[in-house]
A and B are shown apart, each in its own frame.
Chain A
Amino acid sequence: MRTHTTRRLLGALAVASALALTATACGSDAGDGDGGSGPKDVKSALEKGGKVTVWAWEPTLKKVAEDFEKKYPNVDVELVNAGTGDKQYTALQNAIAAGSGAPDVAQVEYYALGQFAIAKSVEDLSPYGAGKFGETFTPGPWNAVTQDKAVYALPMDSGPMAFFYNKKVFDKHHIEVPTTWDQYVEAARTLHKADPKIFITNDTGDAGATTSLIWQAGGRPYKTDGTKVTVDFGDAGTEKYTATWQKLLDEKLVAPVSSWSDAWYKGLADGSLATLSIGAWMPANLTSGVAAASGDWRVAPLPQWTKGDKASAENGGSSLAVPKAAKNKELAYAFTEFATTGAGATTRVSEGAFPATRADLESKTFLDAPFPYFGGQKANQVFAESARNVSTDWSYLPYQVYANSVFNDTVGKAYVSSSKLTDGLKTWQDASVKYGKDQGFSVND
């Protein structure tokens, strides 16, 4: 559960990391320098064996580590949970700064990867042969881990967004599943009018969700080129988002309940929170956290900003990266590749992870798997379709972790006072610009 929560947040950030990768344009040079001429000798490292320390909180890696040790008996994989999300990044950053104690492989959410790439604290994996996986992974995640020709991590899972709705509530109030966000606002009004206890969804200001929806609307507020960063929440896509969302806030159509709180789970279970627009990793959370509503929920594609479109976005997801401070990088890479591609990826999908690999996304077993929770619906088909429709030119800030931490200080005001989302985003932009400048980036110059 925690994994997913963090993942969700990070997911939003993941998109940001894509930007981050852009930021690391110069990283590829460093990689070349390290790599020498040919691909690194991963094979002989595997034969020689050794120990790989992996920092990750993703539960399905356990099975993969066992399989890896079975396949390569000389290798000893030590899986360490050094905390989830931010906690792990703090530990990782400290270990990197201290020059000792860093793991060989670390789980990094997409949105946070940029921060590590720009600081050159993760290894460019292309000299090890990671460059060949461009077609292996789905575009969103692959874009999030690459920057020019450098590959800073391999995607472990992904969170293409989908629209989860409570069919029982919709049927009772005779509401059609919205296909555009305008219809969504209408549905919100109808529902709330019919029963003031029912809200279309909850929202107390969530950086990950906001950036993902702006992404879907075609907004590209962040642009990163090396150490040059642009932050601009004034583009047309962002305006589409704020215009619609401002209506929801003004008319108090979204419940003031924070995601992942007790009230949230209760609301999802009792039908008072009728929909969620969230990453495809959500089903496992619903099954375990909202068991009482089993059979009520269904999955549909996200509502669209322009009628007839098929735009989607990523929300969450993480990758495996090899810190520069790793002791045995060849071996570390071997594990990373094993866990994220081929049989390792398939194993993790069967354990419940949402794949970032095309092969698994397209496999019949995956696509045709019925979800009893969704009344037998083959929900993966919706998710896979969404994954294909993610536009890939999105990027996050190379310091998205910080930016997200001040989201509620700035944009949050629009949720609890009469100030507007647009102004909130402007203040958020200013805070992001200031931090970027403090950190030595050239921002909006």
Chain B
Amino acid sequence: MTLLSTSAQAVPPPRRRTRFRGRKEALVGWGFVGPFVAVFGLVFLAPIAYALYLSVFRDRLIGGTSFVGLDNYSEALADPRFWEGLARVGLFLLVQVPVMLGIALLIALAIDSGRLYGTAFFRVSVFLPYAVPAVVASLIWGFIYGTRFGLVGNINDTLGVTLPDPLSPSLVLAAIGNIVTWEFVGYNMLIFYSALKVVPRSLYEAAAIDGAGEWRIVASVKLPAIRSALVIATIFSIIGSFQLFNEPSILQKLAPNAITSDFTPNLYTYSLSFAGQQHNYAATVAIVMGVITAIIAYAVQLRGMRKG
């Protein structure tokens, strides 16, 4: 996140207009900036610095703590459990994010088109899942997915069919994708919808007068107009995918053999730290993951914001 903010659109730093105006005023300036700097340092910089500090040590049951330099990093970069987790969230990102954003965009365009009745109700209903905490959502879906006492099980019993088990190793990632889509379609829809709201209606009229149909207006006016909203939503989704944790962590109780302790990089960090007491290595994996996320998010932003 911090990395993301540094990558935000280049706002040139305000040039210091005044030269030296006396020590007193400089102190007054610090008085204003001080509280911010203190809080910023404490809650943003200190944890990162501490993680960096942790990542160059290794604490062992036999032998205690020792300085290991960059050993943890070279281990993390060669750790198949980390890369497999990363590949898994990468796949998740490539499939789930386009589906989710596509649905969100469709709904936003539909609501914005002004051709639907009861849009307020529809809008709230679609947004409602976002208000459900991820933990609760995962539990609800966990019950639905159950093949013995869940909805899937009930359907199997009632219709005498055998639906594939959504919590089996081959389907569990898709099952998680479904939960995440359900949770976040409304949120993304709202971002798109509010961006559409500020597009001047006169543009649509002008396009219509020029002979453009609805789809043409969507493609040539609406989508370009909300381009920055699309990019922002994409970046949020990328970060969200890489940070996937709640849903697999909850479903792990129901599908312990399908969701491994290194299912996603975040889950891996968690188990390293809490089951294995490998805080140093966990910090290293977290930093590597943070850097990778920042690079990808930044690349997407650069690409997305490029004109034309």
The residues of A with any CB-CB pair to B shorter than 8 Å are 86, 90, 93, 115, 118-119, 204-205, 227, 255, 257-258, 261-263, 266-267, 398-399, 401-402, 405-406, 408-409, 412-413, 415-417, 435, 438-441
Contacts and interface: CB of A to CB of B under 8 A. Distances in A.
B271 interface: yes
A118 B257 contact: no
A227 B278 CA distance: 18
Contacts of B168: 416
Interface centre among A90, A399, A440 (most CB of B within 10 A): A440
Contact of B257 (A267, A413, A435): A413
Nearest to A439: B61
A261 B250 CA distance: 13
Interface residues of B, number: 23
A205 B255 CA distance: 10
Contacts of B253: 258, 261
A263 B149 contact: yes
Contact of B61 (A118, A205, A257, A408): A118
Given A416-B168, A416-B169, A408 B256 contact: yes
A263 B254 CA distance: 10
Nearest to A264: B148
A90 B257 CA distance: 24
A17 B149 CA distance: 37
Contact of A258 (B62, B256, B260, B262): B256
B63 interface: yes
Given A266-B149, A440-B63, 13 more contacts: A93-B277, A115-B61, A227-B62, A258-B253, A401-B275, A402-B276, A405-B275, A408-B257, A408-B260, A415-B257, A416-B169, A439-B60, A441-B62
A54 B260 CA distance: 34
B261 interface: yes
B258 interface: yes
Nearest to B66: A440
A416 B149 contact: no
Nearest to B60: A440
A316 B305 CA distance: 59
B274 interface: yes
Contact of B258 (A86, A267, A416): A416
16 contacts: A90-B274, A118-B61, A119-B61, A205-B257, A258-B254, A402-B277, A406-B261, A406-B271, A408-B256, A412-B257, A416-B168, A416-B258, A417-B169, A438-B278, A440-B60, A440-B63
Contacts of A119: 61
Interface of B: 60-63, 146, 148-149, 168-169, 253-254, 256-258, 260-262, 271, 274-278
Closest 4 pairs (CB-CB, A-B)? A440-B62, A412-B257, A405-B275, A440-B60
Contacts of B169: 416-417
Contact of B256 (A90, A118, A205, A439): A205
Contacts of A118: 61-62
Nearest to B276: A402
Contacts of A227: 62
A435 B62 contact: no
A86 to B, nearest CB: 7
A412 B261 CA distance: 11
Contacts of A438: 60, 278
A398 B260 CA distance: 23
B145 to A, nearest CB: 12
A261 B167 CA distance: 15
Nearest to A115: B61
A262 B149 contact: yes
Contacts of B274: 86, 90
A263 B61 CA distance: 39
A268 to B, nearest CB: 13
A402 B277 CA distance: 8
A416 B257 contact: yes
Contacts of A401: 275
Contacts of B254: 258, 261
A263 B256 contact: no
Contacts of B63: 440
B257 A204 contact: yes
Contacts of A439: 60-62
B22 to A, nearest CB: 46
Contacts of A267: 148
Nearest to A266: B149
A402 B62 contact: no
A86 B275 CA distance: 8
Interface centre among B271, B277, B278 (most CB of A within 10 A): B277
A409 B272 CA distance: 13
B259 to A, nearest CB: 9
A435 B276 contact: yes
